[in-house]
C-alpha cells in the first residue's frame, strides 16, 4: 500500500498563452490536511480541477492508493471518492438547499424521490458539523456564506474520502472559519484526506499538516507546517519579503462626501427589516469601515447606496446631491465607485474580454467613444495600462475572457478599474477577498493612497485584521442597525468582536 492516497505526478496543463501547471507534483497522505499555497494565478485551482476530472492534463499521471487512475470527468472523481468545493460555487440558483445537495445522487423509490430520507440525512449532517442551513431555502436568497455550507454538505452527503476545498474560508466570517478548521480536523481524524487552498497563512498554521507551494505554474516545494513561520511561507510563495502590516498616517478629514439618513430596507418577502434606520456619513480623507458578522445588513446597506436595491425609507446624499432614487449610471458618473461583494454577479461580465470589463461604466465617455463608435484602440490601450499597473495576470492580457481568469486576478481587475476611475466615494466590499498576501499589501496601499488624496472610502469587511489595520473609524452593524461607532486606535479586537456579536449593544 502506498503512503499516499493521492499522487499527482509531473502534471502539465496548458491554456492559451499560459502554462497553468508546469510539471507539478503533489502527494497527499491519508488523513492529512494538505495546504496548497501560491499567488493569484499560480495554478492551484487548475491543479485541483485536474484532480477532480474537470480538465485533462497534457502530461502526467494521477495515482490513487498507488494505482494509476484516469479521471475523465467529475463523475469519475466522485466514484473514486474525490469531492470538491469550488472557489466559485456550482449551485443551481433557483433550487432549494436540499435539492442542490441531493442533485445527481437522488434516491428514488417507485419512481418517486425519497426526499424524507435525504432531508433527515442533511439535517443530521448539518447538526453534526455545525453547518446550520435551512434545507428549504432557495439558493439565490441565501448569503455566500450559507451557499458555501451547502457545498460542504454536498461532499459530506456523498461520503467523499478525499475532500478538496478551494478557498473555502474566503467567504466565511472569523467565527465560521474557526468552526470550519475544527470540522476539517475532525474529518481528517476520521481518516478523510483534505486538500485545502487558502491565502491565509494563519489558517495554514492552524489547520494544515503539510503545505505545497506553487509559483507561476511551477512546483516550489512541500514543507511541514509546524516548524515553518508565516514569513518563510509567504516568501516561498512570492519570492520576496512581504509586509503584513499597513502603514498610514492619521486621517485628515474634509467635507462630507456621503450622507446616509434614516435608511431602511425591508426584505422582499416577510417585510423583515434588513437595514433599520441607519444614519452615518463618510468624509473626504477617511476610511470608514462597516464591520459586522456576515448577514447583518451590510450587503443590503451597500446595495441601497449603490442603487442595486430599492430602499423603503431614508435618504442617500452624495457630495450634497440627493441620489436616493438616482439611476446607477448617474451614481457612477457622479463619483461613486463600487467594489462589489459578489464579483461575478455585480462586478464583471464574465464572457467579455478583460478590456471591455475595464470600461464597463465608462465606454460612452469621449475618451472611449466617438459619435457612438467605440474606440477600441483606446479601450485596449487603457486596459493594457491598468493590467500593467495592477499586475493583473492572465493568459492573453486584455483579450482574455474574464471567466477563464483566476479568482484573485478577477478581483484585481475590479479593484484596478474602480480605483482608477478616481471616485469621490469608493465603496469597497471585501476588496481583498481571495487575494494573495502580496496583492493584499498592494491593494491596502492603494486604498490608503486614495484616502490621502482626499477621497472618502467606505470599507465593508468581515476580516478583523483588515478592519483594525485600515480603518479610521469603525461602524458596527448588528441586525440591520449601526450599534456602535468605534475608534480603531482605542478599541481591542475582543471588544470589536463583542459588538459584532450584539453584546455591546446596551452600552452603545
Ligand atoms: N479555463 C481556462 N481557460 C484559460 N485560462 C485559464 C483557465 N483556467 C485558468 N486559466 C489560467 O491559468 C492560470 C492559473 O489559474 P488558476 O485559476 O489555477 O490560479 P489560482 O492559483 O487558483 O489563482 P487564485 O488564487 O487567484 O484563485 C491563470 O493565469 C488563469 O488565467
Ligand atoms: Mg483559484
Q: How far is CA 411 from CA 90, 255, 347, 435, in A?
A: 19, 30, 9, 8
Asked if pLDDT for residue 507 goes beyond 70, the answer is no
> What is the homologous superfamily of the domain 4-238 according to CATH?
P-loop containing nucleotide triphosphate hydrolases (3.40.50.300)
Choosing from 50, 404, 432, 438 the residue with most ligand 1 atoms within 8 A of its CB, the one to mutate for a pocket test is: 404
Ligand 2: centre distance to CA 378 (Å): 31
Top-level class of domain 256-507: alpha beta
Tens-digit pLDDT profile for residues 223-260? 999 999 988 898 898 888 877 778 888 888 999 999 99
Closest ligand (CA of 198): 1
CA-nearest residue for atom 12, ligand 1, is 20
Ligand 1: centre distance to CA 404 (Å): 7
Ligand 1: centre distance to CA 380 (Å): 22
CA-nearest residue for atom 6, ligand 1, is 404
Ligand 1: centre distance to CA 409 (Å): 8
CA–chain centroid gap for 435, Å, is 8
Asked if pLDDT for residue 505 goes beyond 60, the answer is no
Ligand 2: centre distance to CA 46 (Å): 7
Q: How far is CA 199 from CA 88, 166, 391, 494, in A?
A: 15, 10, 17, 24
Task: Give yes or no for residue 407 CB within 6 A of ligand 1.
Answer: yes
Task: Give yes or no for residue 409 CB within 6 A of ligand 1.
Answer: yes
Work out which ligand 1 atom sits closest to the CA atom of 39: 25
Q: Model confidence at 386, in pLDDT bands (50, 70, 90)?
A: very high
Q: Model confidence at 508, in pLDDT bands (50, 70, 90)?
A: very low
Ligand 2: centre distance to CA 94 (Å): 25
Tens-digit pLDDT profile for residues 280-332? 999 999 999 999 988 899 999 999 999 999 999 999 999 999 999 999 999 99
- The span from the CA of 139 to the CA of 473, in Å, is 34
Task: Give yes or no for residue 306 CB within 6 A of ligand 1.
Answer: no
Ligand 2: centre distance to CA 375 (Å): 33
pLDDT for 504 equals 65
Q: List the chain domain ranges.
A: 4-238, 256-507
Work out which ligand 1 atom sits closest to the CA atom of 411: 26
Task: Give yes or no for residue 394 CB within 6 A of ligand 1.
Answer: yes
Element (H, E) at 233: helix 230-238
Question: How do 162-166 and 82-85 pair as beta strands?
Answer: parallel
Task: Give yes or no for residue 198 CB within 6 A of ligand 1.
Answer: no
Percent of the chain exceeding pLDDT 90 equals 67
Say how many residues make up the chain. 508
- The span from the CA of 53 to the CA of 383, in Å, is 34
Name the nearest CA neighbour of 222 among 210, 233, 234: 210
Q: With contact defined as beta carbons under 8 Å apart, do 2 and 64 qualify? A: no
Task: Give yes or no for residue 46 CB within 6 A of ligand 1.
Answer: yes
CA-nearest residue for atom 17, ligand 1, is 406
pLDDT, average across residues 122-139: 86
CA-nearest residue for atom 8, ligand 1, is 404
Asked if pLDDT for residue 2 goes beyond 50, the answer is yes
Q: Model confidence at 506, in pLDDT bands (50, 70, 90)?
A: very low
Work out which ligand 1 atom sits closest to the CA atom of 43: 18
CA-nearest residue for atom 22, ligand 1, is 45
CA–chain centroid gap for 18, Å, is 24
Residue 351 has φ and ψ, to the nearest 5°, of -95, 5
Amino acid at each position: 500500500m502506498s503512503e499516499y492516497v493521492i499522487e499527482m505526478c509531473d502534471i502539465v496543463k496548458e491554456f492559451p498563452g499560459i502554462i497553468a501547471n508546469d510539471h507539478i507534483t503533489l502527494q497527499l497522505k491519508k488523513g492529512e490536511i494538505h495546504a496548497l499555497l501560491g499567488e493569484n494565478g499560480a495554478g492551484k485551482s487548475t491543479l485541483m480541477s485536474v484532480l477532480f476530472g474537470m480538465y485533462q492534463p497534457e502530461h502526467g499521471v494521477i495515482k490513487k492508493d498507488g494505482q494509476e487512475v484516469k479521471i475523465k470527468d467529475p463523475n469519475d472523481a466522485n466514484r473514486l471518492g474525490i469531492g470538491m468545493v469550488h472557489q466559485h460555487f456550482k449551485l443551481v440558483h433557483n433550487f432549494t438547499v436540499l435539492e442542490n445537495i441531493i442533485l445527481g445522487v437522488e434516491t428514488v423509490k417507485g419512481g418517486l424521490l425519497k426526499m424524507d430520507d435525504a432531508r433527515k440525512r442533511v439535517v443530521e449532517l448539518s447538526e453534526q458539523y455545525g453547518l446550520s442551513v435551512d434545507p428549504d431555502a432557495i439558493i439565490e436568497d441565501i448569503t455566500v456564506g450559507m451557499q458555501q455550507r451547502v457545498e460542504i454538505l454536498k461532499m459530506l452527503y456523498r461520503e467523499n474520502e478525499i475532500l478538496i476545498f478551494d478557498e473555502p474560508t474566503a467567504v466565511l466570517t472569523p467565527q465560521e472559519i474557526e468552526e470550519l478548521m475544527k470540522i476539517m480536523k475532525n474529518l481528517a481524524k476520521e481518516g478523510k484526506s483534505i486538500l485545502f487552498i487558502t491565502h491565509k497563512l494563519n489558517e495554514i498554521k492552524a489547520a494544515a499538516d503539510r503545505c505545497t507551494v506553487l509559483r507561476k505554474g511551477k512546483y516550489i516545494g512541500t514543507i511541514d507546517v509546524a516548524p515553518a513561520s508565516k514569513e518563510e511561507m509567504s516568501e516561498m510563495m512570492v519570492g520576496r519579503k512581504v509586509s503584513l502590516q499597513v502603514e498610514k498616517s492619521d486621517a485628515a478629514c474634509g467635507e462630507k462626501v456621503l450622507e446616509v439618513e434614516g435608511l431602511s430596507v425591508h426584505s422582499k418577502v416577510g417585510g423583515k427589516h434588513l437595514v433599520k434606520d441607519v444614519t452615518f456619513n463618510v468624509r473626504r480623507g477617511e476610511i470608514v469601515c462597516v464591520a459586522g458578522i456576515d448577514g447583518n445588513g451590510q450587503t443590503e446597506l451597500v446595495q441601497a447606496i449603490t442603487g442595486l436595491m430599492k430602499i423603503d425609507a431614508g435618504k442617500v446624499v452624495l457630495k450634497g446631491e440627493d441620489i436616493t432614487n438616482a439611476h446607477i449610471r448617474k451614481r457612477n458618473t457622479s463619483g461613486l465607485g463600487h467594489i462589489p461583494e459578489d464579483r461575478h454577479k455585480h462586478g464583471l461580465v464574465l464572457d467579455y474580454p478583460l478590456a471591455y470589463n475595464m470600461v464597463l461604466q465608462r465606454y460612452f465617455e469621449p475618451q472611449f467613444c466617438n459619435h457612438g463608435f467605440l474606440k477600441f484602440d483606446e479601450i485596449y490601450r487603457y486596459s493594457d495600462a491598468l493590467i500593467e499597473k495592477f499586475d493583473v495576470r492572465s493568459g492573453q492580457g486584455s483579450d482574455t475572457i474574464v471567466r477563464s481568469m483566476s479568482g484573485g486576478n478577477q478581483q484585481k481587475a475590479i479593484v484596478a478599474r474602480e480605483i482608477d476611475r478616481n471616485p469621490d466615494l469608493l465603496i469597497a466590499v471585501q476588496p481583498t477577498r481571495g487575494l494573495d498576501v502580496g496583492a493584499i499589501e498592494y491593494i491596502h496601499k492603494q486604498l490608503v493612497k486614495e484616502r490621502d488624496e482626499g477621497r472618502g472610502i467606505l470599507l465593508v469587511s468581515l476580516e478583523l485584521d483588515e478592519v483594525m489595520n485600515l480603518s479610521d473609524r469603525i461602524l458596527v452593524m448588528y441586525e440591520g442597525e449601526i450599534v456602535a461607532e468605534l475608534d480603531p486606535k482605542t478599541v481591542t479586537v475582543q471588544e470589536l468582536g463583542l459588538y459584532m456579536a450584539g453584546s455591546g449593544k446596551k452600552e452603545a
